[in-house]
Amino acid sequence: MNLHVVIGFGPAGAATARLLAGAGHSVRVVTTSGRSPEPGIEHVACDASDSERLTAAVRGATAIHHCAAPPYHRWANAWQPLASSVCAAAEATGAVLVMLGNLYGYGPVDGPLTEELPLAATGRKGRVRAAAWEQARKLHEQGRIRAVEVRASDFFGPGVTDGGHLAARAVPRLLRGKPVSVLGDPDAPHSWTYLPDVARALVEVAGEERAWGRPWHVPTEPALSTRQMVDRLAARSGTGPVAVRRLSPAVLGVASVFSPLIRELKEIRYQFDRPFVVDSSAYEAAFAVRATPVDEQVGATVEWWRARAATTG
């Protein structure tokens, strides 16, 4: 089978690497510090912003799955060197570049988000994400690399422990029957992308030449509000309904003084203050991956967190 290189081993990188290994591919994971090997996966320590070292690590790969991201508060300065290094490695080796993107690049939009929308972000994080794809797209159009971007909304699911995500904030509390505090309007429709669906899309487009050269939205179930998702998660956990409270601007203001993450969330508050709905129909019309039914998403997420609590306390 082919060699696939996965850059980054956060939730999306880990899910992608394990999916590829389970399908029989050779998998090499590149992270700054490296890790102990696991079945079917070789781990390599390498600063992915160092194009010379990254090119050496990628040599022989059929595809590069770029799932790495700098720390949230360093996006403005760290994204461009990382994006340039990854593009250079793809050009030097001929590997297909599969980028994991998000929806920041569109900026505030009225109506559903589609891939045809311009990348018109006004915030710095949205602009750097848009620039990363534009760089890869231009190189693709020049025939220097083969690139595709897969864009996900806020993702959740087994393995997602980042405090900025719905399940990571909500499930540990609702498993104890505690109220859940959320960013923005808890009743605004919002699209949530399931982590295993992200991995499946990243793997699928790597082998689909007709996918290359453009962005695609990960197949995502119809939008549900944060309150509706919390209600489903609570019902599945068996703890009964829990209160869903909106974090006040005053609380966020105080928290931002001490937390770089909270400070940085100010730029993308619009995604939670009003409807934020993803249209993934283009992907679904062209390829095989479909969104996992939301009840299955919720069930797997609750069970993963329950097992984690049992082993870590």
Q: Are residues 106 and 245 in the same domain?
A: no
Q: What average pLDDT does the chain have?
A: 93
Residue 285 placed within a domain? no
Query: What pLDDT score does 267 carry?
Result: 82
When pLDDT is cut at 50, 70 and 90, the band that residue 77 belongs to is very high
Q: How many whole angstroms separate alpha carbon 213 and alpha carbon 136?
A: 9
Q: Hey, which of 71-80, 172-181, 204-213 has the most confident mean pLDDT?
A: 204-213
Mark whether 173 and 200 lie in a shared domain: no
Q: What's the pLDDT at 206?
A: 98
Give whole-number Cα distances, 113 to 108, 136, 188, 202, 248, in Å. 10, 21, 15, 19, 27
Residue 24 lies in a domain: yes
Domain assignment of residue 255, yes or no: yes
Domain that holds residue 261: 162-190+222-276+293-312
User: Is the pLDDT confidence value at 256 over 80?
Assistant: no
* Each residue's pLDDT tens digit, 97-117: 999 999 999 999 999 999 999
Confidence of residue 161 (pLDDT cuts 50, 70, 90): confident
Together in a domain, 182 and 36: no
Looking at the fold, whether 74 and 98 belong to one and the same domain comes out as yes
The span from the CA of 97 to the CA of 64, in Å, is 5
